[in-house]
Every structure is written in C-alpha cells, then in structure tokens.
Amino acid sequence: MEFLFESLWSAILMILHLDRDLFEALGTTLRVSLTSTGIASLIALPLGFVIARYDFPGKRGVQSLLRTALALPTVVVGLFVYAFIARNAPLGDMRLLFTPAAMVIGQVLLIVPLITALTHAALQENVKLVHEEATLLGASPVAASWKVLSESRHAVVTALMTGFGRVVSEVGVALVLGGNIRGLTRTVTTAITLETSQGHFSSAFALGIVLLALVLMINILIQTLGGRREAV
Amino acid sequence: MGIRTRVALWLAVVAIACWTGCGEDRAAPRPVKMTTTTSTANTGLLDYLMGEFLRDTGIRVDFIATGTGQAITHGRNGDVDVILVHAPPAEARFVADGFGVKRVPVMWNDFVILGPPGDPAGIRASASAADALTQIATSRAPFVSRGDDSGTHKKELRLWQTAGIEPHGAWYVEAGQGMGACLTMANDKLAYVLCDRGTYLAMRELLDLEVAYAGDPELVNPYAIIAVNPEKYPDLNHAGTQRLIAWFTSPRGQKLIADFRVNGEQLFHLFEP
C-alpha cells in the first residue's frame, strides 16, 4: 500500500525537478497521441457521418465490422502494421519501424473504428433531419455536414477524447512498433511498463499519475473552449 | 465562433500535431538500431555505455530491449543493424543461416539460482546446477520460469534437460515476462528463479530473494554482439555498426564495461584476452 503514497510524492518530485526522461516521454506521448488522434479524426468523422447519414448495401456488415474492430488487441494492431512496414514488406523502404511515425500509423488504425463507431452512434438520431434541413436552407453539402457535427458536438468531442484516451493509455502498439527507445519512442506508458518490469513500482505509478494529470489538463482546456460557446 | 474559424482552428491543431510528430534531426550521423536483452538494458549498462559511445563518435544507438528470441527475430528480418544477446546456440544458428556476420564476444556474467530466505528446498550444497533444479523439482518448491524464449529461458531449459526433468505442475510457473518482472513474482511467491547476476544485483534492494546456488561453470552467461549481414540487407547502417563493435571490443569500451558498478558491485566481466 505505502508505495502508492510514495508514488504521489515521487510524481511531484519528478515534475518539480523537470526530470528529463519524464518530459521526453511526455513529449513523445503527446506528439504521437495528438497526431494519431488528429489523423484518425480526419478519417473517422466523415466516415461516421456517411454511415449515419446514408443507406447503402452492406451497411449492417460495415457496422458490425466496426464494432468488432473495437475489440482489437493493441499488440495485434502492432503486429499487423509490422507486417506492412517490416523491411521486406510493401512499405519496408520507408524504414518506419521503431520510429514515432510507425506508432502513429498503428494508433490511427487502432482508433479509427472507435471514433467512427462513436460518431455514428452520436449522429444516428437526427442526422438525416438536420442535414436535409440545412441543405434546404441553402447550405453547401460540406457546410450542412459541419452543421450536423456541431449540433452533436458534445458527443463528437467525447468520441475524439475517447480515441485520444485509448491511444494515450495503450502500450502494445507503442512497444511493438516503437520499441521503447529512450528519447525517441519511449512514451509514458512504455516507461511505466519498463519501470514495472524493473520492480520500481512507485515510479511506475508516479508516471501514471503524471499522465492522468496531463490528460485532465487537456480535458479542462477543451471544456473551457467548448463551454464558452455554450454560454452565449 | 463561426464555422470557418472552427474549421481553421481544427486544421491548425492537426497541422501543429503533424508537424511536431515529424521532427527528426537530419544533420546527425545515422543512428545504429540494436535489439538487445532486458538484462543489459534493465541494469542500466547500456544507457551508460551508449552515452559514452555517443560522446566518442557522435553516433546515437537506439536500442530496443526485448527477450533474446525477439531480438534475434528482428535481426533475421533486417529490422535492426546489430544484436547484443546471450544465447550461444541460437547465435550460432543466426550466423550459420547467414543473417549474422560474426559472433563477437563482449563480456560475461553468470546465472544464479535465487530462492526464498532460508533455502527451503535445500539446494545450497548441490553438486551442480542441474542437481539444484532436481532438488527443487522433487521437493515441489515453487519455481518461476521466464517462459519467454529469452536467453535466460533457453539456459534454464537446457539445465532441465541436463537434469533429465520435464518440469510441469502447479509448482512450475511460466511467467512469460522479463527478468525483472519474474524476480518480483518469485519474491512474492517465495519461489526459486534462475536469474543473471547483473539483474539480481541491480534489483537486490527490492527483493528478499537470496542467492541459493551459484558457481557451476555451466552457469556462465556470455554476451556477444553480432552485426546483421549487409549482404542480406544492403541498406543497413553497417558502417555505424562496425564502429560500435570495434568500440565495444576496444580497450576503452572494455574498461567502461568492467568499471560499471551498481550498488558498488561489478555486474559484467571481461573475457581473458
């Protein structure tokens, strides 16, 4: 038990001392997670919208495929991407393995289904109504789609944050594709794994506290940005 | 905020995120990628050595610590430039199959059998490591196995083979994890465990486990560095790798290895020239 209290203390110390390893890992985590969430949202938001808005043959199949993909183990996603970026694979020439870019690819694959499914669920209720209304009122198709997304922005933001939460906390993709290289691909979660494997439970837990504090700050930031508009 | 502003804001966020994601120092010499075992990384040896190597040559070594099994697989697939491992038979196969250039011995430490305080299975006075394992098996004392195809795991399996025992049963726990995790587990379960002395010394403060058996020449644990064959994979960083291997075996590299201490103890030893 007491190691939990120790960890809280060492988390505070690590931050106060501007611990270099910690900030490198935090930086890598933020860069990689924000990039992958950004790219994934560019794919998943339109995809979720299209699936919610339009009926097409095979729609049910796509839906159940998406829901199945939610169960993808992170290490499996890592190995799947490895099959494409390993040396003799189609993308082998790009030498992506053990780089942050490889982690981004894996994480994008990991959360595109998640954000798509959540966006789809969020829009399902009134997407057709709002979209048709906006189009009738003379909005361009893109503007009308944007209207739909912003009508359900709470749910959409939740979808994005869920995706971000998934990548920021995952360790399988980061280990298999990143390799936990210090100062290059070591994220907070792979650092946690490393510390745990060395028996340094309290510093592992401390890293977890720091990670959560960071995500909390991001959430508060988003809430203030979104809340301002609510008040108008 | 209008729609346009919001779109612009989002694009800006994404652009910044992408930009920060792609930062890479292009001026520095090409880093060497190396897979290695948890025992060299978890003890802190490589952080220390590769810092010195970077100072000496300006070449960064990106090392990935895994089990020896995965380390060799990445070498076979040409994912890395060089491997630093400790499993002589697997290394010989790696070189014989043409994936490795040459096995270059770097250093050694030894394996020890750790056990709970008081040595409940009574293995301290065993005649050999295989005898000690036999004693553990017959008394059904809990034993934690790496179970991960690592160098330590391969060594353990060879020792069981020598003892003529196929270990199974509730007392034999296959953890499937790294050395440190296994030590924590053995400590918790009051179990015996085979461990390289380096990892044990590095973690001793956290453990109640004691050295229950050591000293059999069978337990010597040699580490070798092997360049991945550039004939198989021409675009490897072979030049950087050769400097790394030369540095490891140079008087300076060797001295740094011998000088490495954790809690005042030398973890890795040099081969007699």
The tens digit of pLDDT for each residue in A106-161 reads 999 999 999 999 999 999 888 888 888 888 888 888 888 888 888 888 899 999 99
Contact residues, chain B, for A104 at CB < 8 Å: 21
Which residue in chain B is spatially nearest to A83 when comparing CA positions?
Answer: B77
CATH code of residue B132: 3.40.190.10
**Residues of chain B contacting A, Cβ within 8 Å:** 1, 3, 6-7, 13-14, 17-18, 20-23, 33, 35, 38, 42, 47, 62-65, 77-80, 177-181, 183-184, 202-203, 206-207, 233, 235
DSSP H or E run through A143: helix A141-151
Residue B8 belongs to a domain: no
CA distance B69 to B62: 19
Residue B59 belongs to a domain: yes
Q: Are B56 and B136 contained in the same domain?
A: no
A87, A95, A182 ranked by CB distance to B77: nearest: A87
Query: What pLDDT shows up at residue B46?
Result: 95
A211 burial (CB, 10 Å; 0-12 / 13-18 / 19+) is buried
A41, A181, A229 ranked by CB distance to B62: nearest: A181
Residue B91 belongs to a domain: yes
The tens digit of pLDDT for each residue in B133-189 reads 999 999 999 999 999 888 899 999 999 999 999 999 999 999 988 888 899 999 999
B89 burial (CB, 10 Å; 0-12 / 13-18 / 19+) is exposed
Q: Are B37 and B64 contained in the same domain?
A: yes
Measure B138 CA to nearest chain A CA, in Å: 30
Question: Do B108 and B139 form a contact (C-beta atoms < 8 A)?
Answer: no
Contact residues, chain B, for A32 at CB < 8 Å: 21
Residue B184 belongs to a domain: yes
Percent of chain A with pLDDT over 70: 97
Q: How far apart are the first and last CA of chain B?
A: 74
Residue A42: domain span = 2-231
Domain total of chain B? 2
Contact residues, chain B, for A86 at CB < 8 Å: 77-79
DSSP H or E run through B118: none
Torsional sign, CA A95, A99, A104, A107: positive
**Once rounded to an integer, what is the mean pLDDT over residues B43-71?**
93
Please tell me whether residue B12 adopts helix, strand or coil conformation.
helix
**Once rounded to an integer, what is the mean pLDDT over residues B95-120?**
96
Q: Are B227 and B200 contained in the same domain?
A: no
Lowest mean pLDDT, pick from A88-92, B52-56, B121-125, B231-235:
A88-92
Which residue in chain B is spatially nearest to A182 when comparing CA positions?
Answer: B62
A143, A184, A200 ranked by CB distance to B3: nearest: A143
B98: left (phi over 0), alpha (psi -120 to 50) or beta: left
The tens digit of pLDDT for each residue in A69-100 reads 999 999 999 999 999 998 878 888 888 999 99
Q: How many CB pairs under 8 A join A and B?
A: 82
Q: Are B215 and B225 contained in the same domain?
A: no
Measure B51 CA to nearest chain A CA, in Å: 11
Q: Are B202 and B114 contained in the same domain?
A: yes
DSSP A159-214: HHHHHHHHHHH--HHIIIII---TTTT--HHHHHHHHHHTT-HHHHHHHHHHHHHH
CA distance B154 to B90: 9
Query: What pLDDT shows up at residue A140?
Result: 87
**Domain limit, last residue, from B187, B203, B219:** B219
**CB-based contacts of B80, cutoff 8 Å, min separation 6:** A98, B33, B34, B35, B64, B74, B228
Contact residues, chain B, for A38 at CB < 8 Å: 13-14, 17-18
Token code pair at residue B236: 């490897």
**Residues of chain A contacting B, Cβ within 8 Å:** 31-32, 34-35, 37-39, 41-42, 86-88, 95, 97-98, 100-101, 104, 143, 146-147, 150, 179-182, 184, 194, 196-200, 229
CATH code of residue A179: 1.10.3720.10
Residue B1 belongs to a domain: no
Query: What pLDDT shows up at residue B18?
Result: 53
Residue B69 belongs to a domain: yes
Question: Do B113 and B193 form a contact (C-beta atoms < 8 A)?
Answer: yes
The tens digit of pLDDT for each residue in A178-198 reads 999 988 999 999 999 988 888
CA atoms in the 13 A half-sphere facing the CB of A231: 6
- ∠ at Cα B267 (B264, B272), nearest 5°? 120
Q: Are B102 and B227 contained in the same domain?
A: yes
Contact residues, chain B, for A198 at CB < 8 Å: 42, 180, 202-203
Q: Are B56 and B103 contained in the same domain?
A: yes
Contact residues, chain A, for B22 at CB < 8 Å: 101
Beta-carbon separation of A101 and B22 below 8 A: yes
**Once rounded to an integer, what is the mean pLDDT over residues A7-19?**
86
Confidence check on the interface: ipTM exceeds 0.85, yes or no: no
Domain total of chain A? 1
Residue B57: domain span = 27-108+221-266
Beta-carbon separation of A198 and B42 below 8 A: yes
Beta-carbon separation of B62 and A88 below 8 A: no
Q: Are B157 and B76 contained in the same domain?
A: no
Residue B46 belongs to a domain: yes
Q: Are B117 and B100 contained in the same domain?
A: no
Measure B166 CA to nearest chain A CA, in Å: 28
Per-residue confidence at B8, pLDDT binned at 50, 70, 90? low
Q: Are B209 and B119 contained in the same domain?
A: yes
Contact residues, chain A, for B179 at CB < 8 Å: 197
Measure A199 CA to nearest chain B CA, in Å: 6
Beta-carbon separation of A104 and B20 below 8 A: no
Residue B11 belongs to a domain: no
